[in-house]
């Protein structure tokens, strides 16, 4: 019934269905509830998009890229990849390449356009090609770096200056006239120095974010306790919240977890974040048991063989970090919670142990430890100033 419905909707003149449409039908037939697939393809925008594919006997990524961008296009692409009708490709790398061509058009000088193209190719794209999979963070940082570099180069053009002629006065003026994010151009300037394009003594004031707030320990404990009782968060979000609040994990790392990282038995739930298996005690294990028993998107054709713990809406891909961050933000700030957790953990265990268990670099945990110690020393100093003597602080610490 499903195959005939696809043919009727997409090939009304009784012409043979294209290989792409056959692949879509095969994907939908794999669903546990085929009615959901029928509901999907009967939506006018989905039917219209699939009918566009019938004009091309062979569907490729390049052919799909020529069609107007839309969530439907990417969903169909994902279905075709997951069901072996299209080869797998790194989507973020492909998106960056397409974005680059548009970004280069914004450069007002041909010479500066050529320099930027070299910067993109030999710095950003070279790094992406060395990665197993381009992460969302790498993709966004690359776009930001290129955008700020273009801003600098266009400013130089407006002031009749080539990059090779730039001096410290130019950089100081450009940075002073704009937002603090112009400090990100230091990434481009570092590359320009390494490739002997500019004076190696040039530098910008580094871009520094404001002091980020931390979730205090009392509020963290309150939220963790509520996770076993709340009905306001679904199982997936509760499982992710535990990793942020208890183990200080970054959302960008959480969404990339696979079931190879998690073991669920009747007796114990363990999760590997670094090089050590960490046991989740009750009630922290409950959302993870529920998630293992009923994975997300298990009723659709999007994830026939997916090993992602946090499956996304696009076939075969994990949940976007930005989506999970937005969902958790209804309860707490993931950044504030993560910083608060690491701040507290560094008071309880050595840096090396925390780094190994949680998958952080020792240098990162060491920075949190130093910050924690600095705050403690300020507290001690304040007590000495208030009391007038060091001895008077001891009764308060029992």
Per-residue pLDDT tens digits for 127-141: 999 998 888 889 999
Is 308 found in the same domain as 223?
Answer: yes
Residue at 367 is within a domain: no
Contacts of 389 (CB under 8 A, 6+ apart): none
Q: What is the pLDDT, as a whole number, of residue 2?
A: 55
* Residues 352 and 221 grouped into a single domain: yes
Round to whole Å and give the CA distance between 241 and 27: 33
Rounded Cα–Cα distance for residues 107 and 146 (Å): 11
Judge if 169 and 232 occupy the same domain.
no
Residue 186 has pLDDT above 60, yes or no: yes
Q: Residue 142: is its pLDDT beyond 80?
A: yes
Among the three residues 82, 106, 121, which one is the final residue of a domain in this structure? 82
Residue in this structure with the two tokens 């610490």, named with its chain if needed? 397
Residue 211 falls within a domain, yes or no? no
Verify that 224 and 338 share a domain, yes or no: yes
The string of pLDDT tens digits covering residues 253-312 is 999 999 999 999 999 999 999 888 999 988 899 999 999 988 877 666 777 778 899 998
No. of helices (H) and no. of strands (E), the chain: 20, 3
Q: Is residue 390 part of a domain?
A: no
Q: What is the CATH number of the domain that holds 269?
A: 1.10.443.10
Q: Do the Cβ atoms of 141 and 188 come closer than 8 Å? A: no
Q: What is the pLDDT of residues 315-373, one digit of tens each?
A: 888 998 989 999 999 999 999 999 999 988 888 888 888 888 888 888 888 888 887 66
Contact 251, 240 (CB under 8 A): yes
Asked whether the beta carbons of 146 and 99 are under 8 A apart, the reply is no
More confident residue, 53 or 82: 82
| Cα dihedral 276, 282, 283, 288 sign | positive
Same domain, 164 and 126: yes
More confident residue, 22 or 191: 191
Asked whether residue 98 falls in the same domain as residue 70, the answer is no
Instruction: Please check whether residue 198 is in contact with residue 163, taking contact to mean a CB–CB distance below 8 angstroms.
Output: yes
Query: Are residues 99 and 14 both part of a single domain?
Result: no
Token pair of 394, please? 């001891």
Reported residue count of the chain is 398
Sheet arrangement for strand 269-272: 262-264, 269-272, 277-279
Please enumerate in sequence order all residues whose Cβ is within 8 A of that of 376, keeping only pairs 6 or more positions apart, or say none: none
As given in the structure block, the two tokens for residue 362 are: 């020792």
Mean pLDDT of the chain: 83
**Within this chain, do residues 78 and 97 fall inside the same structural domain, yes or no?**
no
Judge whether 331 lies within some domain. Answer: yes
Is 384 inside a domain boundary?
no
Structural domain includes residue 379 = no
Q: Judge if 71 and 112 occupy the same domain.
A: no
Q: How many domains does the chain have?
A: 3
Pick from 80, 84, 50, 81: nearest CA to 67 = 50
Instruction: Give the burial string for 110-127 (b: 16+ CB within 10 Å, else e).
Output: eebbebbeebbeebbbee
- What predicted TM-score, i.e. pTM, was given to this entire model? 0.72
Distance CA 107, CA 331 (A): 42
Digit-coded pLDDT (tens) for 196-205: 999 999 998 8
Examine the domain organization and report whether 222 and 339 are in the same domain: yes
Q: Name residue, tokens 């739930």.
A: 269
Residue 83 Cα distances to 78, 94, 138, 231, 303, angstroms: 8, 20, 28, 35, 9
Task: Say if residue 130 is in the same domain as residue 180.
Answer: yes
In terms of Cα–Cα distance, which of 360, 363, 357 is closest to 275? Answer: 357
Q: 50 exposed, middle or buried (CB, 10 Å; 0-12, 13-18, 19+)?
A: buried
Q: Smallest Cα–Cα separation from 309: which of 283, 342, 287, 276?
A: 287
Weakest-pLDDT range from 204-213, 227-236, 332-341: 204-213
Does residue 383 lie within any of the structural domains? no
Q: Which of 60, 82, 104 is the last residue of a domain?
A: 82
Domain of 283?
217-358
Distance CA 264, CA 290 (A): 10
Quick check: helix, strand or coil at residue 258?
A: strand
> For residue 375, which phi and psi values (nearest 5 degrees)?
-65, -35
Confidence band (pLDDT; 50, 70, 90) for 394? very low
Q: Mark whether 185 and 286 lie in a shared domain.
A: no
The larger pLDDT score, comparing residue 53 to residue 125, is at 125
pLDDT digits (tens, 9 = 90+) for 146-178: 999 999 999 999 999 999 999 999 999 999 999
- Asked if residue 386 is part of any domain, the answer here is no
């Amino acid at each position: 019934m499903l195959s005939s419905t696809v043919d009727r909707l997409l090939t009304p003149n009784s012409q043979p269905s294209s290989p792409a449409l056959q692949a879509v039908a095969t994907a939908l037939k794999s669903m546990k509830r085929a009615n959901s697939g029928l509901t999907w393809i009967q939506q006018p925008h989905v039917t219209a998009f699939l009918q566009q594919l019938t004009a091309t006997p062979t569907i490729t990524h390049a052919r799909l890229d020529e069609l107007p961008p839309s969530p439907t296009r990417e969903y169909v692409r994902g279905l075709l990849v997951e069901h072996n009708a299209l080869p797998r490709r790194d989507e973020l790398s492909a998106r960056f390449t397409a974005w680059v061509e548009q970004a280069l058009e914004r450069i007002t000088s041909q010479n500066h356009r050529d320099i930027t193209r070299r910067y993109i190719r030999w710095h950003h794209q070279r790094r992406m090609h060395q990665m197993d999979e381009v992460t969302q963070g790498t993709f966004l940082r690359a776009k930001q770096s290129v955008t700020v570099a273009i801003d600098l180069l266009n400013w130089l053009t407006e002031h009749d200056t080539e990059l090779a002629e730039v001096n410290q006065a130019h950089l100081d003026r450009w940075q002073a006239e704009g937002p603090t994010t112009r400090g990100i151009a230091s990434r481009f300037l570092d590359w320009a120095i390494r490739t002997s394009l500019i004076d190696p003594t040039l530098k910008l004031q580094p871009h520094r974010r404001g002091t980020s707030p931390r979730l205090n320990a009392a509020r963290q404990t309150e939220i963790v306790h509520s996770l076993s009782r709340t009905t306001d968060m679904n199982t997936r979000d509760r499982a992710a919240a535990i990793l942020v609040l208890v183990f200080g994990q970054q959302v960008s790392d959480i969404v990339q977890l696979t079931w190879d990282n998690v073991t669920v038995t009747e007796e114990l739930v363990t999760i590997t974040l670094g090089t050590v298996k960490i046991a989740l005690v009750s009630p922290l294990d409950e959302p993870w048991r529920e998630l293992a028993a009923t994975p997300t998107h298990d009723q659709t054709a999007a994830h026939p063989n997916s090993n992602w713990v946090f499956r996304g809406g696009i076939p075969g891909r994990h949940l976007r970090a930005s989506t999970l961050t937005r969902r958790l933000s209804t309860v707490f700030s993931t950044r504030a919670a993560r910083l608060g957790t690491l701040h507290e953990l560094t008071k309880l265990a050595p840096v090396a142990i925390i780094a190994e268990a949680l998958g952080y670099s020792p240098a990162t945990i060491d920075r949190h430890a130093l910050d924690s110690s600095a705050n403690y020393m300020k507290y001690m100093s304040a007590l000495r100033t208030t009391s007038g003597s060091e001895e008077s602080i001891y009764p308060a610490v029992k």
